[in-house]
Amino acid sequence: MKASMIIKTGVLALSLLATSVMAAVSEQEATQLGTTLTPLGAQKEGNADGSIPSWEGGLKPGAAPVDAKGFLGDPFKDEKPLFTITAANAEQYKDKLTPGQLAMLKRYADTYKIPVYPSHRTAWAPSNIYDAAKKSATGVQLVSDGNGLGNFSDSRYYAFPIPKNGVEVYWNHVTRYRGDNIHRWAVQAVPQVDGAYTIVETEDQNSFPQFMDGVNAEEAKNVLYYYIFAVNAPARLAGTVSMAHETIDQVKDPRKAWTYNAGQRRVRRAPQLAYDAPGLAADGMRTSDNADMMNGSPDRYDWKLIGKKEIYIPYNNYKLQSPNLKYADIVK
């Protein structure tokens, strides 16, 4: 776990969102990107006590070896925790802990702990993404009371790198750089109270219009990405498939989603695949929102930008992604 900083924090709160359309920032204000701010709008300088360093371009190429299977090594493998937060000393660090972390420390006082390591600013993106963010800063606007984006099709990334309100911060999360087209295999598990669990093997693809051939250009203007998710195992769930066209303005053109049920051999529209609807292949133990913090149009939430705060966050997952780690070691 790394000590880090929320540079611009969007918090769900019971407050009213201004209904006026927010204008893009000026060319002069956009010059902060890559100078006093990082190219994506974060605070570039470190914090006052030096526990969070300045951003110097992110993780450098060759920072750690890559093995024959493509797994990146841990560039910080020799580091030791600066200290460990437990239920016994949580009060001392509560100003940098979230309500969820404090609740976990209270509920699992004997087993839950937070080792805090030195902070590193490893975030990095290709130069064309930085250019896109700067184009977004001076061109993109909120439409449909904050539930959609205007003038976004030319940039496609980081709608509001210099955000002015909470929903703009949320849109930065939705429009963040995720790589080019993505095809991945993953597993999920739902542990029972006795510790038992079944590994569910899944496969999904994220495809972005700007990286696809033969896409209808007019249709793609309001499509952020195309998504397909399939369950490959266990046998009782295998063959279940869901697909979605994620739209940029979901008020003007709601997300299009479909589900194929292998047992029924039927394809059905699935408008419920959003918000707090049950997630697929998870025994009802997670919702669609769990997949990416919030899933669907921002219209069911009120948003407020309350500033920035330093907190301890899970950051270094190099050990967690090690091919030498067994699922049992992770789940337990």
pLDDT digits (tens, 9 = 90+) for 271-309: 777 778 787 777 778 888 877 888 878 888 889 998 889
Percent of the chain with pLDDT over 70: 93
Peptide bond between residue 323 and the one before it cis (omega within 30 degrees of 0): no
Q: Where in the chain is the domain with CATH 2.50.20.10?
A: 182-297
Residue with more model confidence, 218 or 30: 30
Phi/psi for 135 (5° steps) reads -65, -40
pLDDT at 50 over 90: yes
What is the model's pLDDT at position 22? 53
Once rounded to an integer, what is the mean pLDDT over residues 122-131?
95
- Binned at pLDDT 50, 70 and 90, residue 14 comes out as very low
| pLDDT (average), residues 189-215 | 90
Buried b / exposed e along 193-231 (16+ C-beta atoms within 10 A): eeeeeeebbbebebbbbeeeeeeeeeebebbbbbbebbb
| pLDDT over 70 (residue 18) | no
Taking each continuous run of H as one helix and of E as one strand, the counts in the chain are 7, 14
Measured on CA atoms in the order 9, 321, 106, 86, is the torsion positive or negative? negative
DSSP 3-state percent helix, strand, coil across the chain (nearest 5): 20, 25, 55
Q: Tell me the per-residue pLDDT of 150-183, one tens digit each, with 9 for 90 and over.
A: 999 889 999 999 999 999 999 999 999 998 999 9
Query: Encoding tokens for residue 2?
Result: 């790394």
Residue 310 or residue 218, greater confidence: 310
Report the pLDDT value the prediction gives residue 27, as an integer from 0 to 100: 94
Mean pLDDT of 106-127: 94
Length of the chain: 332
Query: What are the tens digits of pLDDT across the range 218-230?
Result: 888 899 999 999 9
Give the pLDDT of residue 316: 81
The whole-number average pLDDT for the span 81-88 is: 97
Taking the whole predicted model, whether its pTM rises above 0.75 is answered as: yes
How many CB atoms are located within 10 Å of the residue 163 CB? Answer: 22
Once rounded to an integer, what is the mean pLDDT over residues 114-136? 95
70's CB contacts (< 8 A; 6+ apart) are: none
The whole-number average pLDDT for the span 33-50 is 96
Q: What is the pLDDT, as a whole number, of residue 85?
A: 98
Predicted pLDDT at 2: 45
Q: Look at residue 23 in the predicted model and tell me its pLDDT.
A: 57
Q: What CA–CA distance (Å, rounded) separates 32 from 28?
A: 8
Share of the chain above pLDDT 90, in %: 55
Cα 302 from Cα 308, distance rounded (Å): 18
What mean pLDDT comes out for the span 99-115? Answer: 95
The Cα-based distances of 97 to 79, 87, 89, 116, 119 in angstroms read 22, 12, 12, 12, 16
Q: CB neighbours (10 Å) of residue 96?
A: 18
How far is 242 from 122, CA to CA, in rounded Å? Answer: 34
Structure token pair of residue 51: 């526990």
pLDDT for residue 81 is more than 90: yes
Q: What does DSSP say about strands 10-12 and 303-305: parallel, antiparallel, or unpaired?
A: antiparallel
Q: What letters, b where the CB count within 10 A reaches 16 and e where it falls short, cover 268-284?
A: eebeebbeeeebbbeee
pLDDT reported for residue 280: 76
| Average model confidence (pLDDT) across the chain | 87
Class of residue 181 by CB neighbours under 10 A (exposed 0-12, middle 13-18, buried 19+): middle
Query: Which CATH number is 182-297's, of 3.40.640.10, 2.40.50.100, 2.50.20.10, 3.30.420.40?
Result: 2.50.20.10
- Alpha-carbon distance 203 to 215, whole Å? 23
